Amino acid sequence: MFFTTIILAVREIRRHLLRSFLTVLGIVIGVAAVVTMVTLGNGATAAVAEQISSLGANILQIRPGQGFGRGGGGPQAPDFDMDDVTAIQEQVAGVRAVAPQAQSSGVAVHNAQNWSTTINGTTAQFFVAQQWNVTEGRVWNAAEEQAGKAVCVIGTTVQQNLFQGEDPVGQRLRVSNVSCEVIGVLASRGQGGFQDQDDVVLMPIKAVQRRFTGNRNIRFIMVAVDDSYDSQSVQDSLSSLLRERRHIAPGADDNFNIFDTKQISETLQGTTKILTTVMGAVAAVSLIVGGIGIMNIMLVSVTERTREIGIRLAIGAVANEVLMQFLVEATVLACLGGLIGILLALIATFILAPIIQVPFLFDPQVNLLAFSVSALIGIVFGYFPARRAAALNPIDALRHE
């Protein structure tokens, strides 16, 4: 009996294709909007996580000053020095690697090509902390680091713009007025922290301090935390050590800040998920509108088919069978709208994802939930018209013109 009811419902829908399409248009738009927003939101969340993780897994970044800048108004916070780096290595438990960094900028030149880039002076611990390998050549050794030798490891962006297909290893490039030998090329990491991570020239920190910054100051320190240690406890130990070394009085504010990339990642991902949920909720309003549209058209259909309903009741059909027929029609319409909406959402997401530069992540649960909600809307908003049809008096229905 149920199978026969479905056949009758599909036949009735086919008899009025245009009306059926207009009936489910609200459901189509609602499902398409919800699935598109949620899928793109999930892609944005994944993109944020990937960008933050590219900065390094379980990394603490220590900078002078307060907040993201160096503070305003008051005296400028002092930079760090190599004694601070040595103290962190020797006195803080749970530290896997410590990489001091001194930065500058300049124009790198090779033959007739030039490229403006970032010069980052650091130690070999940087490659351990960042878990960043070289695809060609090598990193500098302890002797080169100690002597501050003019050797460099370049990112792929610098390689592409200066060497253009040539093997850079063993060749020399000039950064500002400093000539250095290229000994390695970093593996590509792309965008991270809202900048191109591959646009960099890495050199031993002593070379950068002597030839670029002109001082022994360290702009910031990167600390890689051992996975077996709690990041917050290591952060507390670092804070206590640096307060002592920088002679900060009890109760006074720190003149340095410690950023945990893991916490930043969790915060940004949480914010993105909240925005995705809000956008999905706003888009879901159109599903309610679509449900109201189904109810209105089904009420019109009951009025149009009053005589047909009277004939069915007169020849022996019970009220529940009439109710089931109209309820199935409403549900089938809603399910068709859900399927069409999901298909349109997948097409739209596949097109939009590369444009806004987020990965296309197909989530079966989101699509199944959207389809289930569309079916539920068909049942809920189709029940009142179906009940009205089932409650008709056969004699009055047969008299209807």
Per-residue model confidence as pLDDT tens for the chain (401 residues): 566 666 766 777 777 777 777 777 888 888 888 888 888 888 877 776 666 665 555 788 899 876 544 444 456 788 898 999 999 999 999 898 999 999 888 899 998 889 999 999 999 999 988 888 899 999 999 999 999 899 999 999 999 999 888 899 999 999 988 899 999 999 988 765 557 788 999 999 999 999 988 888 898 899 988 888 888 899 999 999 999 999 888 888 888 988 887 766 667 667 777 777 777 777 677 777 777 777 777 777 766 666 666 776 677 666 777 777 777 878 888 888 889 989 998 999 989 888 887 888 888 888 888 888 888 888 888 777 777 777 766 666 565 55
* Residues 191, 197: Cα–Cα separation, whole Å: 6
* Residues 313, 319: Cα–Cα separation, whole Å: 7
Beta bridge partners of 377: none
Residue with tokens 């910054």: 213
* Residues 338, 31: Cα–Cα separation, whole Å: 6
User: Is the Cβ–Cβ distance between 317 and 5 less than 8 Å?
Assistant: no
* Residues 57, 225: Cα–Cα separation, whole Å: 9
Instruction: Find all residues with CB under 8 Å of 330, minimum gap 6, and list them.
Output: 294, 295, 298, 378, 379, 381, 382, 383, 385, 386
* Residues 120, 126: Cα–Cα separation, whole Å: 10
Q: Which of 147, 152, 59 is nearest to 97 (CA)?
A: 59
User: Is the Cβ–Cβ distance between 341 and 31 less than 8 Å?
Assistant: yes
Q: Which amino acid is at 130?
A: Q
* Residues 401, 398: Cα–Cα separation, whole Å: 8
| 3-class SS of residue 13 | helix
